[in-house]
A and B are shown apart, each in its own frame.
Chain A
């Protein structure tokens, strides 16, 4: 069934869009990432203009994150206090990020820098996560039943303004979460995504939060950053296509529910290995695209 999208101004198969939304929704529910880094390139692939794809995927991320976070609320795996601290940093970061984005746009190289951002960050994060998860699995096999000591004294524990995050079981300074929020908000705005794929590892490895709480909290935070991005795109660029977003999110919200169930059944280490492999795959694809000669040397843009 072909459907004509009013803002994108192209005709696309409605079931293709439902399917895309569904796949990204499953991943979103499983890993607590918004899925923006996957859905945006997939939308380019089906012929949606890049500006519309970036803005509309932010809108779809809001829907799948709401759906996912509600499932996590019921299981009490959202650290609200941590979520709000991260969000405070995140909104500041988004505002800075949008300024950077506009500056790069004026310089005419925004596409390249966004792609480079993706390759560098996805590469680093994917690689680190993969190594860490494999090590964790080996450790678990070597000592059946025994858990490695989690309560290490990291440098983050020496900073002032300590706060208690009960759901995460942490008593740490508010400075690292705010800094993580600013950094992720900034990158999210520049790269046009919610930033979950940076947020999740940052929460685990920098803040030392337990994996089960990380996903719900990340989703909670993403709702607001992605919502802010959507509103900004709709207001300044008129590139949010609600019909496109609706089709994606119908698939997406259902997918997110399924993904959350799968995520609860998998072990944390397996989940991290799967996310690491996925992140590395996207990184590799984008990196190769930069290196091989393009099919068309010329491209049209308004």
Chain B
């Protein structure tokens, strides 16, 4: 929400000429339903650049797409060797950070995104994730752990841009997904500056039996526990009876 307001304000401040090119984009789906056989999801992000005059010749056009998952507060623990064994010696509670973050670009970020623009729009994970803690080992470890788990990804050159007008990329949402809104931002860049941006969100939600069980476990915990025990006892008994029949 904040980003969108900032984006709107900045758009108003920009000189009129810079709005000569506008981004129009859409997603293959804006709702992701997590059901029992959910195994990750692939979202196609595509769009076009709208112009009211010919495209400038002097600089190339680039597109950056970011998808940011729901934010969570995490505790990160550090292990160290004490008395010969490895144990947790330190715990640090980290501020809100996205559980999922992907950046996809048309070309290497170093060529198209100067640090100042990056800071202003918070595009790379370095600028987006707990930027106030930069250099703190716990924050670097958090980013590294999430990169290893494929939750944070930077995919340079994976946005296809054809004829300087049409673009598309696909974003893979992992199977161990967190429910909530996945904010998607699309930036048009020229000369290292953002000339237009567009924001939308993908809503990820459990459905069907997944949703029912999850709600029951939290709102009717005792009933859920009794149900779990009943299922266990019944299937134990059922299997025993079944085997007795088979052996006859």
Contacts from A to B (Cβ < 8 Å):
1-4, 6-7, 9-11, 47, 59-60, 62-68, 70-71, 74, 108-109, 111-112, 223, 227, 230-231, 233-236, 238, 240, 242-243, 245-246, 249-250, 253-254, 256-257, 290-294, 296-302
Q: Does the CB pair A62–B175 fall under 8 Å?
A: no
- With the chains together, A88 CA to B175 CA distance in Å? 44
A-B contacts at CB below 8 angstroms, number? 178
Q: A108-B88, A234-B224, A254-B239 are in contact. Are A59 and B229 (CB under 8 A)?
A: yes
Q: Does the CB pair B76–A67 fall under 8 Å?
A: no
Question: Sorted from nearest, which 5 A-B pairs have the closest CB atoms?
Answer: A66-B236, A234-B225, A11-B175, A253-B239, A298-B141
- With the chains together, A298 CA to B77 CA distance in Å? 5
Q: Does the CB pair A231–B226 fall under 8 Å?
A: yes
The residue among B34, B87, B236 with the most chain A CB atoms within 10 A of its own CB is B236
- With the chains together, A194 CA to B178 CA distance in Å? 32
Which residues of B, 223-248, contact A by the 8 Å Cβ criterion? 224-229, 231-233, 235-240, 243-244
Contacts from B to A (Cβ < 8 Å):
34-40, 72, 74-81, 84-88, 91, 138, 141-142, 144-145, 148, 175-178, 206, 209-211, 213-214, 217-218, 221-222, 224-229, 231-233, 235-240, 243-244
The residue among A236, A242, A290, A302 with the most chain B CB atoms within 10 A of its own CB is A242
Q: Does the CB pair A240–B217 fall under 8 Å?
A: yes
Closest to B34 in A: A4
B contacts with A: majority SS: helix
Q: A7-B213, A235-B225 are in contact. Are A243 and B36 (CB under 8 A)?
A: yes
Taking the nearest CB of chain B, how far is it from the CB of A244, in angstroms?
10
Taking the nearest CB of chain A, how far is it from the CB of B19, in angstroms?
42
Q: Does the CB pair A291–B40 fall under 8 Å?
A: no
- With the chains together, A82 CA to B52 CA distance in Å? 88
The residue among A4, A9, A227, A243 with the most chain B CB atoms within 10 A of its own CB is A4
Taking the nearest CB of chain A, how far is it from the CB of B197, in angstroms?
31
Q: Does the CB pair B37–A1 fall under 8 Å?
A: yes
Q: Does the CB pair B141–A238 fall under 8 Å?
A: no
Q: Does the CB pair B240–A242 fall under 8 Å?
A: no
Q: A6-B210, A231-B225, A298-B76 are in contact. Are A67 and B236 (CB under 8 A)?
A: yes
